[in-house]
Amino acid sequence: MLMTERAEIQVTIEDPFARRLIVKYLGHRKSDIESLRQALGDGDYASIRDKGHNLFGSGSAYGLDRVSELGAMLEKAAKKEHSGSIAEIIDALESYVDNVTVA
């Protein structure tokens, strides 16, 4: 069972431009979560795999290593078409994104 993020996670960024980029990035991840849930409902494992791969590649670039970790897990679970694991990973991603604050 994958644990969801419960505590607030604070990312401190000095540069106002970088702060805006991260906030925008997190907003896009919220849209991704909706798309992932839809793809899971449709059994579209290829889309889930691709989205996981993209998350894996982008999270660390924004200092959000947990997004990259979850993306890698998502990609792996999608390759195995393991819907239960995918649902748990999506929940963990949603919890993480909902609990990140950028200061």
User: In the chain, how many domains are there?
Assistant: 1
pLDDT digits 0-9 by tens, 26-42:
999 999 999 999 999 99
Tell me, yes or no, whether 44 lies in a domain. Answer: yes
Burial class (CB in 10 A: 0-12, 13-18, 19+), 14: exposed
Q: What is the pTM of this model?
A: 0.88
- Cα distance between residue 62 and residue 44, in whole Å: 27
pLDDT digits 0-9 by tens, 49-102:
999 999 999 999 988 999 999 999 999 999 999 999 999 999 999 999 999 888
Tell me, yes or no, whether 4 lies in a domain. Answer: no
Supply the range of the domain harboring residue 82.
33-95
Residue 1, pLDDT > 50, answer no
* pLDDT score recorded for residue 46: 98
Tell me, yes or no, whether 15 lies in a domain. Answer: no
Across 6-15, 19-28, 69-78, least confident range: 6-15
Q: What is the 3-state secondary structure (H, E, C) of 37-67?
A: HHHHHHCCHHHHHHHHHHHHHHCHHHCCHHH
Tell me, yes or no, whether 65 lies in a domain. Answer: yes
- Cα distance between residue 62 and residue 42, in whole Å: 30
